[in-house]
Amino acid sequence: MSALVAVLVAPLIGALAAVALPGRSGRIATWVAIVATLAAAIMLAASVISQGMPRLAVGSWEPPVGIVLEADGLSIAMIVMTALVLTAAGLTARHMLAGDTKGPRIAFGFWPLMLLLWAALNAVFLSRDLFNLYVGIELLSLSAIGLVAIEGKPAALTAAIRYMFFALAGSLLYLAGVVLIYAAHGALDIGLLATRLPAGTDPFALALMTVGLMAKTALFPFHVWLPPAHGGAPAPASAMLSALVPKASFVILLRLWFDVMPDQATDAVLVLMAALGTAAVLWGSLVALVQTRLKLIVAYSTVAQIGYLFLVFPLAGGTSVDQPWAAGAWNGAVFLALSHGLAKAAMFLAVGQWVHVRGSDRLDEMKGLAKAMPMSAFAFALSSITIVGLPPSGGFTAKYLVMTSAFAAGQWAWALVMACGGLMAAAYLYRPMAVIFGRADLSASRLPSRSQQAVPLALAGVAIVLGIASAEPFETLAIGRPQAAEEGL
Amino acid sequence: MTGLLPIFILLTSLVPTAITFFLPQESYRLRNALNLGGAIAKVALIVTMLFSVAGGASYETDMALAPGLVLLLRIDALALLFVSLSASLWLLTTIYAIAYLGKKPEQSRFFGFFSLCVFATTGIALSGSLISFFIFFELLTLSTWPLVAHKQDAASLEAGRTYLLYALPCSTVLLVAIVWLESATGPILFTEPPDLSGIDPAGLRVIFALFIIGVGMKAAIVPLHGWLPSAMVAPAPVSALLHAVAVVKAGAFGVIRVVYDVFGVDRVAELGVGIPLAVMASVTIIWGSLRALQQTEIKKRLAYSTVSQVSYIILGAALASPFAVIGGLAHLVHQGLMKIVLFFCAGIYDERAGIRSIEGLNGLGRWMPWTSICFSLGALGMIGLPPIAGFVSKIYLGIGGLQAEAPWVLAVLGVSTLLNAAYFLPLVYRLWYCEAAPDVEVDENAPALVGPTVAAALAAVAAGLLAASEISPLGWATLIAERDYLQ
């Protein structure tokens, strides 16, 4: 119970302290908050696994009056992944910002925004109230936009403004949906809404919220804001934005379609969502293939990877919902979100170190880096394995689960999308791999130390371990999902 | 304890891998000791197991990943056939590689990935479930790339790219095949024949074809063979690894697993896919030989010869008559022994005399007698001259063809033997009967290079001479066939 509160409160207090306290004490407060939140996340996960789901009615007001926080398997999986990614990003940012001439000014904004982002993410993963989710995702978007713009470069500012346009439009649509639901049912609690009597406005409300969340998740065709924003932000920020932010709105989508209104899920709509996902996979991968800037390759890869997530809807929802393959598809999608989060963060952090050394993220500047920085090169290679979905990695486990579900459901097309997507990912990630592996003499003076290079390597390692030791995470995801607990195929 | 044996065997390669990556270039001694120690430990473990497995024992250990993903390691007779080949050749190749690389740069990376490849190959051999097979198969794909591209020049990177260009699409095809099949049957273990009745025969034929594409790429079945000759730019120990120890062998082994343990001989016959596979193998045998004839570089000619020879194994597996099965399995070992001799020799000619083209071999027999004798033995064995190992394989395959009522196999073997002679005999002739170029002055005073070569050559001769004994590759293949596939 206390850990449930701590994962929300610790980063918020840290954010305030980082702004309020001057200089050194502010930095110490920041790191105390980071360590505290990481510890709270792990404790929360441990208590959910050992004692079941903690539930907190804020201020002891039960719904429909009050709001509820609750941690299920999905929540803690996302919260732990978030904690790992943000801690790693923080460790990398500490060195990168220190060496920068504009360091102090950027650092002044960076640490509070990062902690706010953390609080917002945890709030989204724990909330069981549609309006509370709105607050969380709004805070998330605002801190994310701040992080994009933090260096004050013109290109980044443009990207941030474009991001803001999409994020705000998405928020408005979502809010409109919330209003319609409240008008029809007088409740916003997910548990209460699950047992509601369907109202005539439900399809419209769900559509509004879904489109709004798709814009925030950067699903094709709403992805146009993502590559410039993630490609233009400083690398530690890109790591958080690409790995975590789209996952938050995706989790809300999962809760909407599987918990709040599973009755509204008609096959045609679900197939449409997966079709958009397919388009994202194909388009994102194709565009990533022709980029000449490394950060953009990695950013477009995120566009493609987000597409995979939406294949879950026809495979686990609608008429599939109580079929034996639904559990595999649902778990596979969450696994994909987790392993992509870890691997993509590792990738951005490794790339960030190279960009820091070379002063540019143009692909042809990257020659010879494998020799100069072998550990971060290895981190990039390991995360590529996860992103492509090769064994043994979390990405592979996810892919296997989703593909078997697709075949079992007779919906082969989705399996082929995954197969093609993996191949295209191999193609666009091979280019940077071959370049950094090429021979060049880099007499660069300040290379990151081994311990700094170990940070992305550790993250990428966790993504691999997720594939090897996948039985426990799999069981954990079933907590709070009775239908997923049945072993499917 | 016995359940842990498969894990110990894997650790003999994994531990050196994990440590080697972090060693600085200068730690020659520690690195060599680690890699040699691992290789020796592995051979020792395997020798102890040979006896108990011959007595009927098997070792097993498993680990559940997510539902549906079972990592099962199992040591049975077939696994042991492959793993003892790869382990003993790994030992020889390690000795050879240490001498070959000398003080060349990037050795920690080289030996790290080298051991990782062997780890993956061992995993492939020991895999008792389809998914563990796939996991190790892909690990092999990935860990081979840095070795093929090891020299990091344009040609090596290009060869590495070609390799991945073949490997990754084919592994995707393999994954689709596995997923399709397992979505209907659940996890497939090699010990229990899966119930395939949930899929209609047309679907099963497609799945079988997908499987063959997926694993056949590594076995260099025509038309999926193009990567192998282009990978020749890699250092000689890597060629040995590709052609004898690991990669193409893993492909051929995969075909054996698919035919015997995934589908089963009966089902393959019922579906009528065995003969088409045999035809594909035959086409590969002839085509590889024809292309080998056209090559003027030693290593390229050897590479096309591998394309041709590995398909003997597949031919045996596809015909599935008793003698064909035995001949194919035995050839898995025979081809490995003979081919590693040839590649070791090619490496020595290149390294000690700077000779890469076939004309350069003129008269070298006098200057490099040990190497040239080994090379000649390997070449004659490939042609099928008794008593060297290749002869035994061909006889068994020929009889197997008759048993399977496919007499055309004899014609394929005959033509192939003629072609083998046509592309190998000129090399042998040049070594011994042509005048050396006047400026040739070389010596082969490199015991660490020549030693493993001689050992492998002796093994190839012994495998043929002692074929009748129980511990020969042929004897072991007979044991496997009788125990598992020919009840």
Mean pLDDT for chain A overall? 90
Of B169, B180, B186, the CB nearest to A407: B180
- Residue B321, φ and ψ in degrees, nearest 5: -85, 160
- Concatenating the DSSP letter of every residue in B337-372 gives HHHHHHHHHHHHHHHHH---BGGGGTTHHHHSHHHH
Bridge partners (DSSP) listed for residue B74: B60
What's the one-letter identity of residue B52?
S
What's the one-letter identity of residue B95?
I
| Chain A residues whose beta carbon lies within 8 Å of the beta carbon of residue B134 | 391
Contact B65 A468 (CB under 8 A): yes
pLDDT value of position B24: 85
| Chain A residues whose beta carbon lies within 8 Å of the beta carbon of residue B184 | 407-408
Dihedral-angle region of residue B81 (phi above 0 means left; psi in -120 to 50 means alpha; beta otherwise): alpha
Contact B183 A405 (CB under 8 A): yes
Q: Please state the rounded mean pLDDT for residues A301-321.
A: 91
pLDDT value of position A61: 81
**pLDDT tens digit sequence for B51-99:** 888 877 778 888 777 777 888 888 888 888 899 998 999 999 999 999 8
Query: How many whole angstroms from its chain centre is CA A28?
Result: 27
Band of pLDDT at residue A85, cut at 50, 70 and 90: very high
Secondary structure element (H or E) that encloses residue B209, with its range:
helix B201-216
pLDDT value of position A215: 95
The residues, any chain, with a CB within 8 Å of residue B44's CB and separated by 6 or more, are none
| Chain B residues whose beta carbon lies within 8 Å of the beta carbon of residue A489 | 67-68, 182-183, 186
* Whole-Å CA distances, B422 to A335, A424, B291, B303: 56, 43, 12, 16
Read off the DSSP letter of residue A197. P
| Chain A residues whose beta carbon lies within 8 Å of the beta carbon of residue B157 | 434, 437-438
CB A274 within 8 A of CB A314: yes
Cβ of B134 under 8 Å from any chain A Cβ?
A: yes
Contact A397 B184 (CB under 8 A): no
pLDDT at A485 > cutoff 80: no
**pLDDT tens digit sequence for B444-453:** 788 888 899 9
CB A234 within 8 A of CB A96: yes
Quote the tokens at residue B211: 């499987």
Question: Which of B342, B379, B120 lies closest to B240 in space, CA to CA?
Answer: B342
Contact A397 B65 (CB under 8 A): yes
Please count the other Cβ atoms lying within 10 Å of the Cβ belonging to residue A410.
Answer: 9
Nearest-10 crossing angle of helices B322-353, B447-465: 160
| Mean pLDDT lowest among A323-332, A421-430, B162-171, B401-410 | A323-332
pLDDT at B2 > cutoff 80: no
Q: Please state the rounded mean pLDDT for residues B183-198.
A: 85
To the nearest whole Å, the CA of B160 is away from the closest chain A CA by 9
Question: Which of B481, B221, B460 lies closest to B336 in space, CA to CA?
Answer: B460
* Whole-Å CA distances, B451 to A461, B315, B456: 40, 33, 9
Which of the pair, A106 or A420, is modelled with greater confidence? A420
Contact A397 B157 (CB under 8 A): no
Quote the tokens at residue B241: 């690894």
Best of A320, A338, A390, A414 to disrupt the B interface (most B CBs within 10 Å) is: A390
| Chain B residues whose beta carbon lies within 8 Å of the beta carbon of residue A374 | 109
Chain A residues with at least one Cβ partner in B under 8 Å = 325, 328, 331, 335, 371, 374, 378, 385, 388, 390-392, 396-397, 399-401, 403-408, 415-416, 419-420, 422-423, 426, 430, 434, 437-439, 467-471, 474, 487-489
Q: How far apart, in whole angstroms, are the C-alpha atoms of residue A220 and residue A233?
A: 21
Query: How many whole angstroms from its chain centre is CA A387?
Result: 14
- Residue B206, φ and ψ in degrees, nearest 5: -60, -45
Band of pLDDT at residue B195, cut at 50, 70 and 90: confident
Cβ of B182 under 8 Å from any chain A Cβ?
A: yes
CB A310 within 8 A of CB A246: no
A461 burial class (0-12, 13-18, 19+ CB within 10 angstroms)?
middle
Of B138, B160, B182, the CB nearest to A391: B138
Q: How far apart, in whole angstroms, are the C-alpha atoms of residue B100 and residue B444?
A: 13
pLDDT value of position B447: 86
pLDDT value of position A103: 59
pLDDT value of position B390: 85
Of A374, A406, A437, the CB nearest to B152: A437
pLDDT at B1 > cutoff 80: no
* Whole-Å CA distances, A156 to A93, B176, B353: 18, 41, 59
Report pTM.
0.92
Of B65, B135, B164, the CB nearest to A471: B65
Classify B71 as helix, strand or coil: strand
Q: Please state the rounded mean pLDDT for residues A89-101.
A: 79
Contact B179 A437 (CB under 8 A): no
pLDDT at B243 > cutoff 90: no
Band of pLDDT at residue A98, cut at 50, 70 and 90: low
Contact B184 A408 (CB under 8 A): yes
Contact B67 A488 (CB under 8 A): yes
Cβ of B7 under 8 Å from any chain A Cβ?
A: no
To the nearest whole Å, the CA of B173 is away from the closest chain A CA by 8
Classify B70 as helix, strand or coil: strand
Q: How far apart, in whole angstroms, are the C-alpha atoms of residue A430 and residue A285?
A: 12
pLDDT value of position A420: 94
**pLDDT tens digit sequence for B400-435:** 999 988 899 999 999 999 999 999 999 999 999 988
Q: Please state the rounded mean pLDDT for residues A402-406.
A: 92
Secondary structure element (H or E) that encloses residue B62, with its range:
strand B59-64
Contact A489 B186 (CB under 8 A): yes
Mean pLDDT for chain B overall? 89
Q: Please state the rounded mean pLDDT for residues A452-470.
A: 92
Portion of chain A with pLDDT greater than 70, in percent: 96
- Concatenating the DSSP letter of every residue in A306-373 gives HHHHTTHHHHHSGGGTTSTTHHHHHHHHHHHHHHHHHHHHHHHHHHHHHHHHHS--BGGGGTTHHHHS
Q: Compare all CA atoms of chain A with the CA of B159 and give the residue at the minimum distance.
A: A434
Classify A321 as helix, strand or coil: coil
CB A4 within 8 A of CB A71: yes
Cβ of B297 under 8 Å from any chain A Cβ?
A: no
Q: Compare all CA atoms of chain A with the CA of B176 and give the residue at the minimum distance.
A: A419
CB A398 within 8 A of CB A332: yes
pLDDT value of position A148: 93
Q: How far apart, in whole angstroms, are the C-alpha atoms of residue A56 and residue A76?
A: 15
- Give chain A's length: 489
pLDDT value of position A256: 92
CB A269 within 8 A of CB A203: no
Q: How far apart, in whole angstroms, are the C-alpha atoms of residue B205 and residue A101?
A: 65
Q: How far apart, in whole angstroms, are the C-alpha atoms of residue A386 and residue B413?
A: 45
pLDDT at A445 > cutoff 70: no
The upper half-sphere exposure of residue A443, i.e. CA atoms within 13 Å in the direction of its Cβ, equals 0
| Chain A residues whose beta carbon lies within 8 Å of the beta carbon of residue B175 | 399-400, 403, 419
**pLDDT tens digit sequence for A174-226:** 999 999 999 999 889 998 888 888 888 899 999 999 999 999 999 999 999 99
Band of pLDDT at residue A1, cut at 50, 70 and 90: low
pLDDT value of position A337: 96
pLDDT value of position B437: 76
Please count the other Cβ atoms lying within 10 Å of the Cβ belonging to residue B439.
Answer: 5
To the nearest whole Å, the CA of A455 is away from the closest chain B CA by 16
pLDDT value of position A101: 57
Best of B14, B127, B179 to disrupt the A interface (most A CBs within 10 Å) is: B179
Cβ of B122 under 8 Å from any chain A Cβ?
A: no
CB A385 within 8 A of CB A395: yes
- Residue B61, φ and ψ in degrees, nearest 5: -150, 140
| Chain B residues whose beta carbon lies within 8 Å of the beta carbon of residue A474 | 66-67
- Residue A151, φ and ψ in degrees, nearest 5: -80, -10
Which of the pair, B197 or B485, is modelled with greater confidence? B197
b/e per residue A352-370 (b: at least 16 CB within 10 A): bbbbbbbeebebebbbbbb
Interface size, chain A vs chain B, as Cβ–Cβ contacts under 8 Å = 96
Portion of chain B with pLDDT greater than 70, in percent: 99
The angle formed by the CA atoms of residues A43, A45 and A51, to the nearest 5 degrees, is 95
Q: How far apart, in whole angstroms, are the C-alpha atoms of residue B256 and residue B329?
A: 9
| Mean pLDDT lowest among A31-45, A234-248, B108-122, B468-482 | B468-482
Q: How far apart, in whole angstroms, are the C-alpha atoms of residue A335 and residue A254?
A: 13
If you count DSSP H runs as helices and E runs as strands, how many of each does chain B have, helices first? 20, 2
Band of pLDDT at residue A484, cut at 50, 70 and 90: very low
Cβ of B167 under 8 Å from any chain A Cβ?
A: no
| Mean pLDDT lowest among A185-199, B277-291, B313-327 | A185-199
Query: How many whole angstroms from its chain centre is CA B243?
Result: 5
Band of pLDDT at residue B288, cut at 50, 70 and 90: very high
Please count the other Cβ atoms lying within 10 Å of the Cβ belonging to residue A449.
Answer: 10
pLDDT value of position A403: 93
Question: Which of B465, B436, B284 lies closest to B363 in space, CA to CA?
Answer: B436
Q: How far apart, in whole angstroms, are the C-alpha atoms of residue A7 and residue A71?
A: 11
What's the one-letter identity of residue A318?
G
A168 burial class (0-12, 13-18, 19+ CB within 10 angstroms)?
middle
Torsion (CA) A387, A162, A81, B63 in degrees, nearest 10: -20
B233 burial class (0-12, 13-18, 19+ CB within 10 angstroms)?
buried
Q: Please state the rounded mean pLDDT for residues A323-331.
A: 86
| Mean pLDDT lowest among A40-44, A176-180, B7-11, B134-138 | B7-11
Contact A474 B67 (CB under 8 A): yes
Band of pLDDT at residue A104, cut at 50, 70 and 90: low
pLDDT at B176 > cutoff 80: yes
Over its C-alpha atoms, chain B yields an Rg (Å, rounded) of 21
Q: Compare all CA atoms of chain A with the CA of B174 and give the residue at the minimum distance.
A: A419
| Chain A residues whose beta carbon lies within 8 Å of the beta carbon of residue B161 | 430, 434
Portion of chain B with pLDDT greater than 90, in percent: 50
pLDDT at A488 > cutoff 60: no
The upper half-sphere exposure of residue A195, i.e. CA atoms within 13 Å in the direction of its Cβ, equals 4
